[in-house]
């Protein structure tokens, strides 16, 4: 979930992600993906959109951590429980 004021003049929110081994080590230092995400209203105070992830080639389980951007500052996205937004990714 993304929250906060939407500034239409600033364009779509920018989201980035990095992929880490389960031991919290980055897969590679240069693989952070940044992209704008187009959001659509999905109800009162809720928005929806599609975020594409690039995964490693090696089979295994990884964590994809999600970040939002405020100007040039990266901020970890949080779930509704207040914990960092981390997606578990299985590569077969």
Per-residue pLDDT in tens (0 to 9) along the chain, 92 residues: 454 555 555 556 677 778 888 888 878 766 666 677 777 778 776 778 887 777 788 899 999 888 887 777 888 888 778 888 888 889 99
Q: Residue 20's domain is classified under what CATH number? A: 2.60.40
3 within a domain of the structure (yes/no):
no
Query: Which regions of the chain does DSSP assign to beta strands (E)?
Result: 14-21, 33-36, 40-41, 47-48, 60-70, 73-76, 86-91
Which residues, other chains included, contact 51 with Cβ-Cβ below 8 Å and sequence gap of 6+? Answer: 15, 17, 35, 37, 66
Bridge partners (DSSP) of residue 52 are: none
- On whether the pTM is more than 0.75, the answer is no
55 within a domain of the structure (yes/no):
yes
Q: How many domains does the chain have?
A: 1
2 within a domain of the structure (yes/no):
no
Alpha carbons 89 and 61: distance in angstroms, whole number: 6
60 within a domain of the structure (yes/no):
yes
């Amino acid at each position: 979930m993304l929250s906060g004021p939407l500034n239409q003049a600033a364009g779509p929110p920018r989201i980035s992600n990095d992929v880490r081994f389960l031991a919290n080590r980055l897969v590679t230092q240069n693989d952070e993906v940044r992209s704008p995400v187009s959001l659509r209203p999905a109800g009162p105070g809720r928005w929806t959109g599609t975020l594409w992830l690039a995964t490693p080639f090696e089979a295994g389980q990884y964590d994809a951590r999600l970040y939002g951007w405020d100007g040039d500052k990266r901020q970890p996205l949080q779930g509704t429980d207040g914990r960092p937004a981390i997606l578990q990714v299985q590569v077969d």
